[in-house]
């Protein structure tokens, strides 16, 4: 296995582990939401912190599972043309898309959100709601984490594509 293949496999392994890990938050989110509804309508008790925790979990799942979905090809893709293409052509398009579209978007996201996240940390931003969670700055930090994950995923996809193009694959099978 080449160094590039090991690096790509490592990036994929990290993003897959994070994605599988945060997937469990969906169960916690459902249970917390059920508890919020049960407390509110069964006992007349409102719990702002618990309600906000559902939002935090949703944001965490959405952001941290993005690279996982990309890695598994579970993201939204309009492949009107791609399904008819050869493996080499798909690899070339993925290589160019990863380096010319996804990577610049991830870098731009990080650059544009850095000040926003830094300001939240400087103020140790908390919820504006009474009884809300005091971790808004941590939630905003996930923006930088997803940017880093997507940048790494873009490099991994580019690596997969490069290896496919280099090895001159046959038309059978998947290139990933």
**pLDDT exceeds 80 at position 80:** no
Nearest partner of 5 among 158, 150, 151, 173, judged by Cα: 158
Percent of the chain with pLDDT over 70: 91
Q: Distance between CA 154 and CA 176 in Å, rounded? A: 14
More confident residue, 84 or 75: 84
Q: 160 with 176: CB under 8 angstroms?
A: yes
Distances (CA, A) of 156 to 44, 78, 80, 84, 131: 50, 21, 24, 24, 42
pLDDT band at 170 (very low <50, low <70, confident <90, very high): low
User: Helix (H, G, I), strand (E, B), or coil: what is residue 79?
Assistant: coil
**pLDDT exceeds 80 at position 118:** yes
> Quick one: pLDDT at residue 102?
93
pLDDT band at 175 (very low <50, low <70, confident <90, very high): very low
State pTM to two decimals: 0.83
């Amino acid at each position: 296995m080449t160094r590039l293949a090991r690096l790509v496999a490592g990036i994929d392994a990290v993003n897959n582990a994070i994605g599988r890990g945060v997937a469990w938050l969906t169960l916690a989110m459902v249970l917390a939401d059920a508890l919020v509804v049960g407390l509110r309508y069964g006992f007349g008790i409102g719990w702002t912190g618990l309600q906000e925790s559902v939002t935090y979990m949703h944001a965490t799942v959405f952001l941290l599972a993005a690279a996982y979905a990309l890695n598994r090809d579970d993201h939204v893709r309009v492949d009107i043309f791609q399904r008819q293409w050869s493996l080499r052509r798909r690899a070339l398009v993925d290589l160019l898309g990863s380096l010319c579209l996804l990577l610049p978007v991830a870098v731009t996201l990080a650059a544009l959100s850095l000040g926003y996240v830094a300001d939240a940390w400087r103020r140790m931003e908390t919820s504006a709601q009474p009884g809300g969670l005091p971790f808004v700055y941590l939630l905003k930090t996930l923006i930088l984490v997803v940017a880093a994950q997507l940048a790494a995923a873009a490099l991994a996809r580019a690596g997969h594509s490069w290896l496919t193009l280099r090895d001159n694959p046959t038309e059978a099978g998947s290139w990933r």
